[in-house]
Amino acid sequence: MVQGPALRRPLTLWRRLDTASRRAFPGFILVAGLIIIGMPFGLPNQAALRPVYAMACVYFWSLYRPASLPTPFVALCGLLLDLLGLSPLGLWAVILLLLQFTTIAARRRLAPAKFLVTWGAFTGFAVLAVALAWAGQSLLELHMLPLWPVAWQGLFAAGLYPVLARLLIRAHRGPAAVELA
Amino acid sequence: MIRLSVPFRQALSRLSFPVMLALSLGVVLIGRADTNFSDLVRAGLDDLLAPLYMAVSGPIQAAEHGTGAIGHLFSLSEENAQLREQNAELLQWQEVAMALQAQNNALKASLNYVPSPAPQFSTGEVAADLGGVYARSVLVLVPPANGDAQSLVGAVAMDGRGVAGRVVEAGGRSARVLLITDINSRIPVALGADGAPALMAGNNGPDPSLLYWSPGRPPAEGAMVLTSAQGGAFPPGLPVGVVHYDAQNNPVVLPLANLDSLRLLRLFSYPDNLPELTPIPHTKPETRPAAKAHSRKH
């Protein structure tokens, strides 16, 4: 190889830009997805997809690239989710932060595990988080909300994660890989 | 870039989770204590995102000609034939309607009927489906309000066929409409020809349920559901839907409005229905001046 190790290459402007875009990639995808899910596509239960998507992104990036989604950014994404989805302000910020914390705590076990295990773990986390959101919103609005969206979102979580993970794994090795800059 | 020592950075990263969690919980408390705050932030964000949503929704709507389905492009000729037939039939009905209107006007004139004021309305395109898991709402683009954006709040949103919802938040160029299927939506309605009172309550499903109908007279299948002026929130007589009994034999309302694919909504502001909310003092009714006809905006 003609090129030396990455550390010795000079930090040109283009390389800095490359690094910055790679760093920003996971966050950008997360926010863009949240906004795109609001477009009127007319899918049934489209709104239930939004928290599931946010959870899948936070889970995946916390597992494989924890530095890419800093805690304050996750909290802001949670606030965005609350503002777009008409849930009590701050509720999803708390839940996404808890999810990120749990995922990072379980990282040593989950990251080297087989895909089926990470998938199952995500589905479990998602169902817990959605149940927490249901309980929190019922408590804050002082009436019992229907339970069936919890089941819906659990199904969405189980169905969406393999599809999303395939795309995100590709991103993890390509456009989001800071070490390749 | 500021270079921090390794232990300091570690401490910072350890602190960031509890600090952010505490901040988020603080936001939950603020949102609970002051609902106006979250409404304000939400309206601001909606205003910010509205042009973005329109940039994407616009081409989709252009492709489907406002019908909510792209598939119809493949059956244009059959559809045209069907529409021609329907148009001929409707022209016959138009004559009937004109005759009935003339008769109605004559009867009203002989009764000295005071017409209800014509509402102001503005038309807006539905830019985004911003419902949540436990909420059903859409974002409507409205022409920039002259002066007070809040004047739109409370306006009745109707599509071509019936009531779709009410405006709950309004910003400079967008308004959020809470649909009649939302779990927080409660609308007083009148059932059938005799206008039996009931309450239509959203349940986040496609068909809102009917509550509090008078026990002796269950709503009849197929009866027309109109808004009722009880409570003063809605003007009377706007079409909402049709009574239907679901599989559990509970009465529900099949909405006339096409709530799954709303494209255009008209927002009617009824300024003169507000005084009806206040309790009427028990005095001799004075002769009311004839309600001034509002010039139609837009």
Rounded average pLDDT over B34-41: 85
3-class DSSP string for chain B: CCCCCHHHHHHHHHHHHHHHHHHHHHHHHHHHHCHHHHHHHHHHHHHHHHHHHHHHHHHHHHHHCCCCCCHHHHHHHHHHHHHHHHHHHHHHHHHHHHHHHHHHHHHHHHHCCCCCCCCEEEEEEEEECCCECCECEEEEECCCCCCCHHHHCCCEEECCCCEEEEEEEECCCEEEEEECCCCCCEEEEEECCCCEEEEEECCCCCCCEEECCCCCCCCCCCCEEEECCCCCCCCCCCEEEEEEECCCCCEEEEECCCHHHCCEEEEEECHHHHHHHCCCCCCCCCCCCCCCCCCCCC
pLDDT reported for residue A101: 93
pLDDT reported for residue B294: 44
Nearest residue on chain B to A140, alpha-carbon basis: B32
pLDDT reported for residue A119: 93
The domain containing residue A143 runs over which residues? 25-175
How many other CB atoms are found less than 10 A from the CB of residue A12? 9
Residue A102 belongs to a domain: yes
| B77-91, B205-219, B273-287, range with the lowest pLDDT | B273-287
Residue A20 belongs to a domain: no
CB contact under 8 A, A98 and B21: yes
Residue A29 belongs to a domain: yes
Rounded average pLDDT over B197-220: 88
Band of the pLDDT at B67, cuts 50, 70, 90? low
Residue written as tokens 């683009």? B141
Chain B residues with CB under 8 Å of A38 CB are 49, 53, 128-130, 139
The answer to whether residue B70 neighbours chain A at the CB level (below 8 Å) is no
Band of the pLDDT at B298, cuts 50, 70, 90? very low
Band of the pLDDT at B72, cuts 50, 70, 90? low
**Is 60 exceeded by the pLDDT of residue A6?**
no
Chain A residues with CB under 8 Å of B137 CB are 86
Of A71, A98, A137, the CB nearest to B16: A71
pLDDT reported for residue B281: 43
The answer to whether residue A27 neighbours chain B at the CB level (below 8 Å) is no
pLDDT reported for residue B83: 92
**Is 50 exceeded by the pLDDT of residue A1?**
no
Question: What digits encode the pLDDT tens for the residues B171-199?
Answer: 888 888 999 998 888 899 999 888 888 99
Range 70-89 of A in CB contact (< 8 A) with B: 70-72, 74-75, 78-80, 82-89
Band of the pLDDT at B92, cuts 50, 70, 90? very high
Cβ neighbours of residue B48 closer than 8 Å, sequence gap 6 or more: none
Q: Are B130 and B159 in contact (CB under 8 A)?
A: no
pLDDT reported for residue A169: 87
Of the residues B133, B169, B204, the best mutation for testing chain A's interface (the one with the most A CB atoms within 10 Å of its CB) is B133
Question: What digits encode the pLDDT tens for the residues B227-265?
Answer: 988 877 788 888 999 999 988 888 999 999 988 778 889
Residue A91 belongs to a domain: yes
Residue A134 belongs to a domain: yes
**Is 60 exceeded by the pLDDT of residue B275?**
no
Report the gap between the CA of A86 and the closest CA in chain B (Å).
Answer: 5
The answer to whether residue B100 neighbours chain A at the CB level (below 8 Å) is no
Residue A165 belongs to a domain: yes
- Return the percentage of chain B with pLDDT > 70, whole number: 82
pTM for the model stands at 0.77
The answer to whether residue B201 neighbours chain A at the CB level (below 8 Å) is no
Of A39, A101, A146, the CB nearest to B56: A39
Q: What are the angstrom distances between the C-alpha of A132 and each of A92, A94, A129, B110?
A: 10, 10, 5, 63
pLDDT reported for residue B131: 75
CB contact under 8 A, B135 and A97: no
Higher local confidence (pLDDT), B90 or B43? B90
Rounded average pLDDT over A153-173: 89
Nearest residue on chain A to B53, alpha-carbon basis: A39
Higher local confidence (pLDDT), A144 or A158? A158
Of the residues A89, A99, A156, the best mutation for testing chain B's interface (the one with the most B CB atoms within 10 Å of its CB) is A89
Residue A127 belongs to a domain: yes
Rounded average pLDDT over A152-174: 88
Band of the pLDDT at B89, cuts 50, 70, 90? very high
**Is 50 exceeded by the pLDDT of residue B279?**
no
d(CA B207, CA B201): 9
The answer to whether residue A26 neighbours chain B at the CB level (below 8 Å) is no
Instruction: Tell me the average pLDDT of chain B.
Output: 80
CB contact under 8 A, B16 and A137: no
Residue A93 belongs to a domain: yes
> How many domains does one find in chain A?
1
Chain A residues with CB under 8 Å of B130 CB are 38, 47, 84-86
CB contact under 8 A, B17 and A86: no
Half-sphere exposure of A58 (CA within 13 A, CB side): 35
Rounded average pLDDT over B9-15: 80
Rounded average pLDDT over B134-149: 77
Of the residues A23, A50, A80, A83, the best mutation for testing chain B's interface (the one with the most B CB atoms within 10 Å of its CB) is A83
Higher local confidence (pLDDT), B61 or B269? B269
Residue written as tokens 């920003």? A24
